[in-house]
Structure 1
Amino acid sequence: MTKTTSYLSYIRTNNLKCIFLFLIIFNCKNKPKELPTEIVHGKTITLKYAKGFSVVDYNTYKIIDIKNPWPNTEKNYRYVLINKENAAKTSFLKNEYDGIITTPIEKVVVTSTTHIPALDLLNVENTLIGFPGIDYISSEKIRQRIDDGKVKELGKNEGLNTEILLELNPDVVVGFGIDGNNRSFEIIKKSGIPVIFNGDWVENSPLAKAEWIKFFGAIFNKEKEADSIFNKIEHNYLMAKKIAKNVKIQPTILSGAMHSDVWYLPNGTSTEAQLFKDANTHYLWKDTEGSGSLKLNFESVFVKAKDADIWLNPSNYSNLEILKNANNQHAMFKAFENKTVYSFTNTTGASGGVIYYELGMTRPDIVLKDLIKICHPELLQDYEPYFFKRLE
């Protein structure tokens, strides 16, 4: 081999090495970053009461964990929130996440009326494009969108009209359920639309439920607004509780009503019972425990509550006559005779939706003030109950 041939071979070999090295460097620079599975330097959003979710912010993305979307949940759900620009640069280990949600969210479907106030208060109601049971919505701003044809009817939560929903192609669906067996959600997820579960209703205190506005603050990038709104609700609630604390006389409270020979009423560890307690009343079943409502026979309820001062939340009966016609035994209580029976079912929106079912969870401060005014009329002199009305 001549020196010239040897020299040319050397150049070709080194050129190939350079090209190979260049390709390696180029590919490394352009290879999407993988989202780390372990979080090291994120900023956790402060939650004072809510236990069912957490949010950690890493500047370029957020991780939101849903810990208890329904009772006895067997797994936690984890989601990534990331803007479109950073999403294009990042690859994800999808088997480690239950959904990748790109922001900003411009189109959303929610599935419970309890989700509506957060959209309203955060001024993102214009993103709502679909809902199951639009007649139940009472928000004036969203009712206007419904009247303008901008929010589509999606049937029922347990059986969503997935054909219409997929045509709407929302950025995310905020779902809820009593268990994990909603086939509609599985169809939606398989189509590529993320479904994130909301478990506000599972929380065990009024303020914990209200704090889920921070969940919506996270997914809409409005954490500061959500924090400010919740702080005002918390302040109002604690101030009302303080006002009621010094009252010496606690009226006795009966709740619920008969259905098919069973009296349903809240147990002593429920959020309803906590509201009764914070209003400084004596709820007659305050010492009971359990999940869900108590189910008692008439005799046991009557013996304990026949002389109760006030009867709250007698199911969905809208006046005393209907309450009596449903079961003559209802008329045997002192509270019925004295017409001290109060319900929230008569406070409805333009299409008949019960406003309490929509707004009550987000605004426990208003609920508490209502109860204080009813049970201690001498307090809150200029206040008129918003949700609760005396049955006529």
Structure 2
Amino acid sequence: MTRKCLWLFALPLLLFACGGRTAVNNDGNHSQFSYAQLLTVNLSDGTVSVSDPWRQGKTLQTLKATKPLKRVVVFTTVHCQLLEYLGVADRIVGVCDAKYILIKDIQRRLALAKGAKGKIEDCGNSMSPDMERIIALKPDAIVLSPYEGQSMQKIERLGIPIIYAADYMETSSLGRAEWMRYYGRLFGCERKADSLFHVVDSTYQSLKAYAAKLPKGRSILTERKTGAIWYTPGGKSTIGVTIRDANGGYAFANDNHSGSLALNFETILAKAGESDIWAFKFNGTRPMAKADLLREFDGYKALKAFRDGQIYECNCSVKPYFEETSWRPDYLLREMIILLHPDAKLGKLRYYQKLG
């Protein structure tokens, strides 16, 4: 992902630079965040550099906020949720993929009449946004999640600063969550962001210590078959690490991949078919049943968890799983402890429910 170096001094809200071929400097004038590996603060001038997750040693973007961002177009529901947490969601003037946003107040503001106070504009699909509508909103910046090989020329030609939200490329859940401290600097709510992250970190560590004192938990198989492939988290992925921190069993715990493993069903069955529980996410208009799963793939009945009725589903059409757990990995760890330790006294599940 090549970026031309550019300083937009004319914009009063943000001094903005991005350099796809700039080397990351880690001398004594720079400080890393506690967990986020892709963020570095220059202590001398307060700029924050974002390392390019696809090109080692290169910088994706360098930003320095001189005044808080007041008007933003946000392309992802995840970052809408963060702004809600930080108390600055009122600065969202436009969103993409509006139908997937599960935040009630944002949906309320999307439904307001044109010109009404607090109105949020639907800027279309994030893959092909309505450029004219974005221009008309006159935002201070656009917040979007980049991906490898993505062409940004059309959006860059708008001349609007872009916040490349590459937080999802962090290899730890706390690393991703810590990006809230970076975003807090851009929106002028640094103290609130730091305070929230302190809560997230301390709660996560407390839950991890609690789980470590419990007997070894149940083993878990996650997700389901997609076409001919079953994508399951690698042992060093955020889910793999969360299962480990929950003191549960995972067939791929010793795997060294930080992303997903693309496996066929035969491999899943051989390595994880005897897992105690099976938990997956889906999008649907109603809860799933065993019959739905068998219509999807008859081979599921070979799984121990299927036979024993230990199946848990998370309907992401109604449960804000992705929105919340991106910034609250402590929520996900708590969920995993409850799933893997039925006797844990942590209350009810937040996202998953047992298949009826």
Q: Deviations over 1:270-303 (max 9, x none)?
A: 1010111111111001112335321112222112
What is the rounded CA distance, in whole Å, between the counterparts of 1:231 and 1:43 in structure 2?
A: 24
| CA offsets 1:230-269 (integer angstroms, 9 cap, x no match) | 0001111111111111122331211221122222211111
- The one-letter amino acid of 2:184's match is G
**Aligned counterparts of 2:350 and 2:31: Cα–Cα separation in 1:** 32
Cα shift at 1:314: 5.5
Give the aligned partner of residue 48 of structure 2. 64
Distance 1:80 1:364, change over 3 A: closer
Whole-angstrom distance in 1 between the partners of 2:226 and 2:196: 38
Q: Could you say if the C-alpha distance between residues 127 and 314 of structure 1 is closer, same or farther in structure 2, counting changes exceeding 3 Å?
A: closer
Match of 1:207 among 174, 182, 196: 174
Question: Any unmatched runs of 5+ in structure 1?
Answer: 1-34, 84-102, 349-353
Matched, 1:306 2:273: yes
Matched, 1:339 2:309: yes
SS at match of 2:315: coil
Task: Give the conservation status (yes or no) of the 8 Å contact 1:73–1:179.
Answer: no
Higher mean C-alpha deviation, range 44-53 or range 246-255: 44-53
Q: Tell me the residue number matched to 2:247.
A: 280
Aligned to 2:70: 106
Cα distance in 2, alignment partners of residues 229 and 283 from structure 1:
30
Query: Which of the numbers 347, 365, 381 marks the counterpart of 2:330?
Result: 365
SS in 1 for 2:221: strand
Counterpart of 1:96? none
TM-score scaled by structure 1?
A: 0.76
Matches within 5 A, 1:1-392: 47-56=33-42, 62-68=46-52, 70-72=53-55, 75-83=58-66, 103-149=67-113, 150-183=119-152, 186-313=153-280, 316=283, 318-319=287-288, 320-345=290-315, 348=318, 354-381=319-346, 383-392=347-356
What SS does structure 1 have at the residue aligned with 2:216?
A: coil
Asked whether the 8 Å contact 1:206–1:364 carries over to 2, the reply is yes
Contact 2:39 2:48 in 1 (8 A): yes
CA distance in 2, matches of 1:391, 1:119: 33
Query: How many pairs does the alignment contain?
Result: 324
Query: Relative to structure 2, which stretch is displaced further, 133-142 or 223-232?
Result: 133-142
Taking structure 1 as reference, are residues 271 and 343 closer, same or farther at Cα in structure 2, changes over 3 Å only? Answer: same
Q: CA RMSD in A?
A: 2.5
Deviation at 1:75, TM superposition (A): 3.4
Change (3 A) 1:164 1:190: same
What is the DSSP-based 3-state SS (H/G/I as helix, E as strand, rest coil) of the residue aligned with 1:49?
coil
Q: Residue 175 of structure 1: CA displacement?
A: 1.8
Distance 1:62 1:314, change over 3 A: closer
Matches of 2:324 and 2:352, distance apart in 1: 13
Alignment TM-score, normalising by the size of structure 2: 0.84
> For residue 245 of structure 2, what is the amino acid of its counterpart?
D
Paired residues of 1:108 and 1:127 also in contact (CA < 8 A): yes
Specify whether residues 74 and 188 from structure 1 end up closer, same or farther in structure 2 by C-alpha distance, changes over 3 A only: farther
CA distance in 2, matches of 1:300, 1:321: 23
**Offset at 1:76?**
0.7
Which whole-Å CA distance do the structure 2 matches of 1:72 and 1:125 have between them? 32
C-alpha distance after superposition, 1:295-335 (max 9, x if no partner): 11222211222321011225557423222210001122111
1:143-174 alpha-carbon deviations (Å, 9 max, x no partner): 22223251111222222221111111100011
1:269 alignment partner AA: K
Question: Distance between the aligned counterparts of 2:239 and 2:34, measured in 1?
Answer: 20
Shift of 1:117: 2.2
Distance 1:273 1:226 in 2: 26
Task: Check 1:141–1:73 CA distance in 2 against 1; reply closer, same or farther (3 A cut).
Answer: farther
Give SS of 1:193's match. coil
Relative to structure 1, the CA distance from residue 80 to residue 236 in structure 2 (aligned partners, 3 Å threshold; closer, same or farther) is closer
2:279–2:312 contact (8 Å) kept in structure 1:
yes
Q: Which has the larger helix fraction?
A: 1
| Matched residue, 1:3 | none
Letter of the structure 2 residue corresponding to residue 391 of structure 1: L
Unaligned runs of 5+ in 2: 1-14, 18-24, 114-118
Render the CA deviation track for 1:14-54: whole Å, top value 9, x for unaligned: xxxxxxxxxxxxxxxxxxxxx9x9x9xx9977721001123
CA positional deviation for 1:380: 2.2
Structure 1: which amino acid aligns with 2:249? H
In the alignment, is the contact (CA less than 8 A) between 1:347 and 1:388 conserved in 2? no
